[in-house]
Structure 1
């Protein structure tokens, strides 16, 4: 399964349900990671929390069961992950010696549950409810990051999930820097993407905010 820094996952997370979604723990994979993208950026001791819209649909997991050791892992080579890693390398935040659990970044999703419609992009089924159900999992994650200083919402849905519920008050209460950027899969030039991310890594203070 690989090594993870993931804290003990409480039963209430494993019991979350929505009729249009599957909880990863319903598959009984034995996975220790709470988020599939921890296999790319999974440092719970890190200063940065990256929040995208969602992971892959449940069909992605089902197709991988029996073929890989941990089906609940990021998909290499897709534009989202490629662009995110390219951006971090551009700002010299990671290099060839960086490891998943010692990179200073944790990468998660605003929607914890896995959509059942097989769709990779587009609006989430019953989006508002799915994000509301998932918000406590995001809050749990924030609470388990002792060194958290920066929260980055990547895309419209991630930003909406933060601003609509209890997450924004939690960010204010801990005096965390909060930024919004385009989703890494969004078609734009490298120069434009790096310009959006520059306020985050130049650490220009809490007022720095890249617009979606």
Structure 2
């Protein structure tokens, strides 16, 4: 099984940061993706980041990269996780929304939905459920290009809120970084080992 990791956005994408600019989504997600990739490889898994550049790579190009790999090794032998931070609003204000969530396409495969449930279970084990209503399936469905236009099972994760001060403090702490990396690692290992 080939595990693909997508880290959302680039440094040139405006507005993707905490109100105090301590957490920059492009940088944070690359750090998480890099650590996750290192752990997966150290454990003997075939894993790859699809965006190694710091600039924003278009969704079309990211999907093209994923699908080229799917074509080469077979889509059923590939899984994709796109790592992001959430935001409850815009305008650079602190907000109250909390929690982790995972998104699949509105017409997602059962494998995508299963991976999303595994990811949510790992987030919940770490106390990251948050203060919002959670669908009974434990994943959210949305028409997002990275999960819609890729040929393999795919989940986009929103790893807490970059406009919630408490969550930013947690995300930037060693414990927070470990929670985010390990929840992805543990869920992916369960998925590929089934």
The two structures have a TM-score, normalised by structure 1, of: 0.34
The higher radius of gyration belongs to 1
Name whichever structure is richer in helix by fraction: 2
Higher relative contact order (CA 8 A, sep 6+): 2
